[in-house]
């Protein structure tokens, strides 16, 4: 009965997305004019390929944005090692992911922008690329994609599977539960981020036998390339910061800059030679922060202008993409943003831990709460959660007590190393056994 309701709901969804297709096309063109979509390759979002499909087996990895894309790359590399006979196709939806990921992918991997989940675009994409298997990352649950793939006999896997409390509540409603149940029934493998995430997928009626745990792929922090100019600039910054106290706040969202700048001003009274590195989630936000601070008469250096850290510069704003992991090597203290205001859901803390930073984050961490808890269980000093009001005191202690700072830096690195071991191998084994052996035979 639920299966029939699910099919009926899917037909309604397909009809709605078909009817909305002209409006979604106009919206896509508007986003292109705004510079949000790629100015040349935007037709790929309509399922129109920009390169030819090689003969033979093809595995499609689909990610939403940069974070998921970087997490998928180690698995892609393992697939290439184990199955060199297969072509790998990778898609994402954002131009920012395109700019970074395409420079990090192994030779031979094809990159395309993901098609919109409208019938014409998805059918054209699947019909042209004819993948043997689709690996979806995290929460990319799109009905036309999933049910279109199943209709064409394409195997499906969901890696680093997660569902926010809000999404779970929405999908659990009686009117939508049959549709999500139908979609999840098409997967050969679901690898949840955590036990809680696994329970949510089971409550949404995913078949229990397809749910397997392998660890969080966001622990698989790999070194990746930046330009020679970028490397030289990072080395120059290390020299400029060598004799100054420094802390960094990364991935902040709008509103959080007020918290961080308030803390900065207080700390400056005690440590006048201190430097605060600010890395907003979005580059444009960084430029806005720099303009406002300059209006206040503060000496601010902006990354995109290649401005130097002079003796009077106390704030360095990073308004570029793809350099965050390298900036973690410049500071002993990393405050992870997107977590200090209600409604936010946190960001990946493992990159800062891998670099050996003392890691601080707020309490609004969403699905990253599992990562925080696991690191704290591995070593209680590895991650310090504080409120916006407590942040100033916590940083003051780290600045004034080198032993505590060193202990937290070491704890973060040790916890990361303990939790990251073997994850890619585990995911590969699950993929090979549950998906690829049948899909590539």
Residues acting as catalytic residues? 68
- What angle, 0 to 180 degrees and rounded to 10, lies between the N-to-C axes of helices 119-129 and 2-34? 90
- How buried is 277 (Cβ within 10 angstroms: 0-12 exposed, 13-18 middle, 19+ buried)? buried
Q: Count the helices and strands in the chain (H runs, E runs).
A: 18, 13
* Farthest CA pair distance, the chain: 71
Residues 6+ apart with CB under 8 A from 353: 359, 375, 382, 383, 412, 413, 415, 416
Torsion of CA 380, 383, 386, 388, to 10 degrees: 170
Record the tokens describing residue 94, joined without a space. 């954002």
**DSSP H/E element including 275:** strand 275-280
Using CA of residue 357, residue 358, residue 363, residue 368, what is the dihedral sign? positive
Give me the residues paired with residue 58 across strands.
87
What distance in Å separates the CA atoms of residue 340 and residue 361, rounded to the nearest whole number?
8
For strand 383-385 and strand 275-280, is the pairing parallel, antiparallel, or unpaired?
Answer: unpaired
Closest CA to 353 of 219, 258, 229: 219
> Residue 428's CB: how many other CB atoms inside 10 A?
20
């Amino acid at each position: 009965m639920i299966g029939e309701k699910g099919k009926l709901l899917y037909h309604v969804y397909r009809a709605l997305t078909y009817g909305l297709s002209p409006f979604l096309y106009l919206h896509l063109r508007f986003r292109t004019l705004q510079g949000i979509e790629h100015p040349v390759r935007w037709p790929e979002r309509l399922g129109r390929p920009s390169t030819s499909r090689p003969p033979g087996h093809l595995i499609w990895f689909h990610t939403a944005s940069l974070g998921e894309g970087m997490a998928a790359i180690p698995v892609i590399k393992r697939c290439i090692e184990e199955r060199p006979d297969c072509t790998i196709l990778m898609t994402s939806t954002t131009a920012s992911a395109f700019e970074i990921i395409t420079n990090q992918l192994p030779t031979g991997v094809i990159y395309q922008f993901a098609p919109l989940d409208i019938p014409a675009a998805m059918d054209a994409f699947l019909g042209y690329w004819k993948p043997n298997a689709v690996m979806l990352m995290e929460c990319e649950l799109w009905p036309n994609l999933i049910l279109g793939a199943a209709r064409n006999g394409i195997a499906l896997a969901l890696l680093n599977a997660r569902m926010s409390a809000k999404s779970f509540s929405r999908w659990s409603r009686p009117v939508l539960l049959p549709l999500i149940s139908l979609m999840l029934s098409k997967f050969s493998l679901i690898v949840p981020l955590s036990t809680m995430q696994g329970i949510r997928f089971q409550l949404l009626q995913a078949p229990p036998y397809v749910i397997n745990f392998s660890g969080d792929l966001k622990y698989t922090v790999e070194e990746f390339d930046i330009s020679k100019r970028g490397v030289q600039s990072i080395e120059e910054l290390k020299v400029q910061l060598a004799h100054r106290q420094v802390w960094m706040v990364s991935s902040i969202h709008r509103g959080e800059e007020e918290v961080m700048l308030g803390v900065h001003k207080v700390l400056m009274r005690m440590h006048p030679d201190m430097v605060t590195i600010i890395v907003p989630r979005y580059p444009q936000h960084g430029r806005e922060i720099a303009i406002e601070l300059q209006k206040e008469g503060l000496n601010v250096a902006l990354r995109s202008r290649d401005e130097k850290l002079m003796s009077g510069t106390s704030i360095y704003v990073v308004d570029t993409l793809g350099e965050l992991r390298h900036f973690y090597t410049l500071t002993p203290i990393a405050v992870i943003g997107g977590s200090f205001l209600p409604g936010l859901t946190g960001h990946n803390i493992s990159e800062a831990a891998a670099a050996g930073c003392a890691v601080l984050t707020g309490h609004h961490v969403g699905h990253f709460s599992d990562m925080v808890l696991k690191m704290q269980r591995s070593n209680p000093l590895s991650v310090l959660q504080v409120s916006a009001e407590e942040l100033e005191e916590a940083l003051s202690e780290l600045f004034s007590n080198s032993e505590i700072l060193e202990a937290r830096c070491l704890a973060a690195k040790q916890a990361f190393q303990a939790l990251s071991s073997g994850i890619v191998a585990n995911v590969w084994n699950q993929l090979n056994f549950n998906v690829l052996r049948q899909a590539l035979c």
